């Protein structure tokens, strides 16, 4: 990183850092208990399943209307309709898990 004699960074210069330096990095370590590991794995798996169901529902909708191009008018179902289909998507997971999947789907869909 190029600097002046006073140590001030010169704008527009190639930004490289000395060995071992990093910028704006945080490193966290968690050490969950076996019970917490199971809960985390279940939460991640359930969120992924709900997200995949949203994507699957969109593809089914697009195929049913014979979509080729243009504006898509798709009403995303509530996660309760998806969780009712599968026994393992039960109330032991927090609703945040399912709402997060819906938010990620919306972000992927509209961007």
pLDDT: which is higher, 10 or 56: 56
Residue recorded with tokens 């850092």: 17
Average pLDDT over residues 48-65: 87
**Do residues 57 and 73 lie in contact, with contact meaning Cβ atoms separated by under 8 Å?**
no
How large is the average pLDDT for residues 37-54?
A: 90
**DSSP-H helix ranges across 23-67:** 34-64
Dist. CA 83–CA 49, nearest whole Å:
10
| Predicted pLDDT at 20 | 75
Residue 12 pLDDT greater than 70, yes or no: no
Between 76 and 37, the more confident residue is: 37
Taking the C-alpha atoms of residue 49 and residue 46, their distance in angstroms, rounded to an integer, is 5
pTM: 0.67
Reported residue count of the chain is 111
How is the chain split into domains, by residue range?
Answer: 34-110
């Amino acid at each position: 990183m190029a600097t002046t004699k006073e140590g001030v960074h010169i704008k527009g210069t190639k930004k490289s850092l000395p060995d071992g330096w990093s910028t704006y990095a945080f490193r966290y370590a968690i050490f969950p208990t076996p019970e917490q590991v199971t809960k985390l794995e279940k939460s991640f798996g359930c969120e992924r399943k709900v997200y995949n169901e949203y994507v699957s529902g969109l593809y089914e909708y697009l195929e049913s209307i014979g979509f080729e191009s243009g504006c898509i008018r798709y009403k995303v179902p509530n996660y309760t309709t998806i969780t009712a289909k599968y026994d393992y998507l039960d109330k032991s997971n927090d609703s945040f898990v399912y709402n997060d999947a819906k938010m990620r789907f919306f972000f992927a869909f509209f961007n």
